[in-house]
Amino acid sequence: MNLKKRLILANASTVVIPMLITVLIALAAFFVSGKLSGHDISFEDYQRLSQIKFELLNSQTSILQRTPEVVEEERFQQHLQDQLAGINGELLITKEERVIFSSHDFSKIDVAKFLEAGNKTGRSEPVIIGDVSYTVQVISLKFKEGSPGNVFLLVPLNRSTANLTSFLVLICVTFILTFMLTNIVVSYQFSRSILKPLHNLQSAAAEISRGNLDRSIVEEGDQEIQALCRDFELMRIKLKDSVHTQLKYEDNRKMLISSISHDLKTPVTSIKGYVEGILDGIANTPDKTERYLKTIDLKARQIDQMIDDLLLYAKLDLNQIPFNFERTDIEEYLMLCLLESEPELETSNIKVSFHNELRQKQHVLLDRERMKRVIMNILDNSCKYMSKNEGELKILLRDTSTSLIIELRDNGSGISEGDLPYIFDRFYRSDAARSKGSGLGLAIAKQIIEGHQGRVWAVSHGEEGTSIMISLSKA
Which pLDDT value is given to residue 23?
A: 86
CA distance 303 to 310: 10
Which pLDDT value is given to residue 404?
A: 93
Residue 326: pLDDT band with limits 50, 70, 90: very high
Give the mean pLDDT of the chain: 78
pLDDT (tens digit, 9 = 90+) per residue, 108-164?
888 888 777 766 654 456 777 877 777 777 777 777 777 888 888 787 765 545 456
Q: How many CB atoms lie within 10 A of CB 82?
A: 11
CA distance 182 to 174: 12
Which pLDDT value is given to residue 163?
A: 57
- Would you state the torsion angle of the CA atoms of residues 358, 362, 364, 370, taken in this order, to the nearest 10 degrees? 60
pLDDT (tens digit, 9 = 90+) per residue, 218-263?
877 777 788 888 888 888 888 888 888 788 777 766 766 776 776 6
Which of 3-12, 144-153, 460-469 reaches the highest mean pLDDT? 460-469
Residue 431: pLDDT band with limits 50, 70, 90: very low
CA distance 475 to 461: 31
Query: Which residue would you say has higher pLDDT here, 8 or 364?
Result: 364
Biggest CA pair distance of the chain: 164
Cross-strand pairs, 91: 153
pLDDT (tens digit, 9 = 90+) per residue, 266-277?
788 888 888 888
CA distance 161 to 133: 10
Which pLDDT value is given to residue 428?
A: 65
Q: How many CB atoms lie within 10 A of CB 175?
A: 17
CA distance 42 to 163: 12
Does residue 278 have a pLDDT over 80?
Answer: yes
Asked if 34 contacts 40 with a C-beta cutoff of 8 angstroms, the reply is: yes
Question: Which candidate, 366, 379, 375, 329, places its Cα nearest to that of 453?
Answer: 366
State the average pLDDT over residues 363-381: 88
pLDDT (tens digit, 9 = 90+) per residue, 94-106?
888 788 888 888 8
In whole angstroms, how far apart are CA 430 and each of 257, 267, 422, 437, 442? 19, 19, 10, 12, 13
Task: Sketch out the chain's domains with CATH numbers.
Answer: 42-162 (3.30.450.20), 228-317 (1.10.287.130), 326-473 (3.30.565.10)
326-329 and 363-366: which strand pairing? antiparallel
Give helix then strand counts, H and E, for the chain. Answer: 11, 12
Which pLDDT value is given to residue 244?
A: 83
Which pLDDT value is given to residue 395?
A: 92
Helix (H, G, I), strand (E, B) or coil at 394: strand
What percentage of the chain exceeds 90 in pLDDT? Answer: 9
Query: Which residue would you say has higher pLDDT here, 312 or 336?
Result: 336
pLDDT (tens digit, 9 = 90+) per residue, 33-89?
656 554 444 455 455 556 655 665 665 566 655 666 777 778 877 877 877 777 777
Does residue 467 have a pLDDT over 50?
Answer: yes
Task: Say which range, 27-31, 219-223, 433-437, 451-455, has the weakest mean pLDDT.
Answer: 433-437
Asked if 124 contacts 143 with a C-beta cutoff of 8 angstroms, the reply is: no
Taken as a whole, the chain contains a residue count of: 475
Helix (H, G, I), strand (E, B) or coil at 95: strand
In whole angstroms, how far apart are CA 317 and each of 190, 225, 251, 381? 51, 39, 15, 21
